[in-house]
Amino acid sequence: MAQQRDENYLTTAEVARRLKVKPETIYAYVSRGQLTSVRARGRRGSLFAAADVERLASRTVDHPGVVERIESELSLLADDELYYRGHSVRDLATTQSVESVAQLLWTGLLEESEPFPVPPELVALARTAMDVAPPAARMTDQLRIAVAVLGAGDPMRFDLAPESVVLAARRLLGVLIEALPGEAGEGSFGARLWPKLSTRPPEPRVLEAAAILLADHGLAVSTVAARVAASARANLYSVVSAGLGALDGHYHGAATTLAYQFLDRALSDPVEALSDQLRSGEPVPGFGHRIYQQRDPRAEALFELIADEPVMETVRVITGQLAGFPNSDLAVAAMMHAYGFRPDAGEALFALARIIGWTAHALEEYAEPGLRFRALGVYTGPAVT
């Protein structure tokens, strides 16, 4: 590079003093793209533009805890496709079990995995907790209560070693499914969960495919909430509780219920239901996406599995009338109608599936420096007197 004026550039040691961090942290900033290093002829070491350092200092609030980008090895959303650790989610949904995909996300290994365990004493505890909920409570309400109680009852919940977290996650998923109201199934994730959601003859592979498709989706708002909790070294149960809290919003987990209700109205007259929805001025539930541009691969994969179900004719009519594309919320809603799922089943399936992803993100976050999340707050209140 051309010779730079010394007053415009700082050495690594000077940057470390200005930002009140260790030199190793400076290198981390460079790898994350938060700072750019340059070399000067005749000088050793890296130099950093003073203006860039000041901009970063203004955001760090006396510590380096502001994170603007989160590096993750878990999910890739590219060219309207979704991948888990380099594996196409479409392929995983049709060739792998939920337990195997969970193992892939948690450990990086894609291999056969045993069904999630269901210790009887923990199932009893979870059911007792769920019974506290009022009769009108949704399945996700029962899940939130059970997660909190199961966490309180686990004396080893603060063991954050990766193998301990994986064991706890497997046990948590198995117990939650078993404890939900309804007859108990046997075997895989889908076989156990199906009778909790529907009285129809089981199609566990469809349910498993849906769970795999929903297990992770990059840094969705609930996943960010889970990672923030993990950054504070919250235990797995608290991480899951944080994710469930964010999932409860109508912009996130409740979207499947809104799509289910819209599709329910459309079954008798899809054009009239669509017309009424458009007239309301509200978006059509189950269409479009903030990230995908032309298609949602999760919706396409699930629609292929239920292509012969009568509800798909209604989906085709609605889709043919709109310029947008259907997303995973409409696909899950269509699956619910195809197999007679209870109205709150979509949210419960979403929550159980996403626990897999939150666990994977927690494992990543536990390996990062603690308390690294802190947004820049801009004070807009009254002047100081």
Q: What is the pLDDT of residues 31-42, one digit of tens each?
A: 777 788 887 766
Q: Are residues 177 and 253 in the same domain?
A: yes
What pLDDT is stored for residue 66 in this prediction?
60
Q: Are 244 and 179 in contact (CB under 8 A)?
A: no
Confidence check: pLDDT of 123 > 60: yes
- Give the Cα-Cα-Cα angle 75, 77, 83 (nearest 5 degrees): 50
CA distances 218 to 149, 161, 222, 288, 330, Å, are: 28, 23, 10, 17, 20
Instruction: Indicate if the pLDDT at residue 385 is higher than 90.
Output: no
Residue 123 and residue 24 share a domain:
no
* Structural domain boundaries enclosing 15: 6-60
- What b/e string do you get for 120-140 counting C-beta neighbours within 10 Å, with b at 16 or more? eebbebbbebbeebeeeebbb
Entry pTM: 0.83
Answer whether residue 235 is part of any domain: yes
For residue 7, name the pLDDT band (cuts at 50, 70, 90). low
Same domain, 49 and 86: no
Q: Which two tokens stand for residue 340?
A: 């007679």
Better pLDDT: 47 or 234: 234
311 and 202 co-located in one domain: yes
The pLDDT of residue 87: 98
- Residue 312 belongs to a domain with what CATH number? 1.10.580.10
* Among candidate residues 358, 266, 351, the one with its CA nearest the CA of residue 313: 266
Indicate which CATH number applies to the domain containing 40.
1.10.1660.10
Cα torsion angle, 302, 308, 311, 316, sign:
positive
Report residue 126's pLDDT band, with 50, 70 and 90 as the boundaries. very high
Q: Cβ of 182: how many Cβ atoms within 10 Å?
A: 14
Q: Who's near 9: CB < 8 A, 6+ residues apart?
A: 38, 40, 47, 48, 49, 50
Distinct helix (H) and strand (E) counts, the chain: 18, 6
Domain annotation covers residue 313:
yes
Task: Say whether pLDDT at 6 is over 60.
Answer: no
Q: How would residue 225 be classed by pLDDT, with cut points 50, 70 and 90? A: very high
Q: Which of 57-71, 191-205, 355-369 has the lowest mean pLDDT?
A: 57-71
Which of 68, 66, 96 lies closest to 84, judged by CA?
A: 96
Q: What is the mean pLDDT of residues 200-226?
A: 97
How many independent structural domains does the chain possess?
2
The pLDDT of 6-10, averaged and rounded, is: 75
Same domain, 182 and 42: no
Q: Name the pLDDT band for 2 (thresholds 50, 70, 90).
A: very low
Give the model's pLDDT for residue 275.
97
Domain-embedded: residue 67: no
Summarize the confidence of residues 265-283 as an average pLDDT.
Answer: 96
Which tens digit of pLDDT belongs to each residue from 54-94?
A: 877 765 544 445 666 789 999 999 999 999 999 999 999 99
The reply to whether 69 falls in a domain is: no
Rounded CA separation 259/343 (Å) = 11
Residues 103 and 201 grouped into a single domain: yes
**Share of residues in the chain with pLDDT > 70 (%):** 94
List the single range of 33-47, 107-121, 210-224 with lowest mean pLDDT.
33-47
User: What are the backbone angles phi and psi of residue 9, rounded to the nearest 5°?
Assistant: -135, 150
Q: Give a yes or no: residue 380 inside a domain.
A: yes
**Quick check: is 302 in a domain?**
yes
pLDDT band per the 50, 70, 90 thresholds, residue 345: very high
Please indicate, yes or no, if residue 19 is contained in any of the structural domains: yes
**31 and 86 fall within a common domain:** no
- The answer on 330 and 293 residing in a single domain is yes
Query: Both 42 and 134 in a single domain?
Result: no
pLDDT (average), residues 169-182:
97
Does position 5 have pLDDT exceeding 70, yes or no? no
Residue 3: per-residue pLDDT = 42
Across 122-151, average pLDDT: 97
What single letter denotes the amino acid at residue 339? Y
Strand-pair category, 9-11 with 81-84: unpaired
What integer pLDDT is reported at residue 56 of this predicted model? 78
* Same domain membership, residue 138 and residue 46: no
266 vs 48, residue with greater confidence: 266
The CA dihedral of 132, 134, 135, 138, to the nearest 10 degrees, is -90
Find the mean pLDDT for residues 198-222.
97
In this structure, is residue 151 part of a structural domain? Answer: yes
Identify the pLDDT of residue 58: 64
Among 34-43, 289-298, 316-325, 367-376, where is mean pLDDT lowest? Answer: 34-43
Asked if residue 99 and residue 54 are part of one domain, the reply reads no
Q: What does the pLDDT look like over 84-98, one tens digit per residue?
A: 999 999 999 999 999
Compute the mean pLDDT over every residue in the chain, rounded to the nearest whole number.
92
Do residue 260 and residue 130 come from a single domain? yes
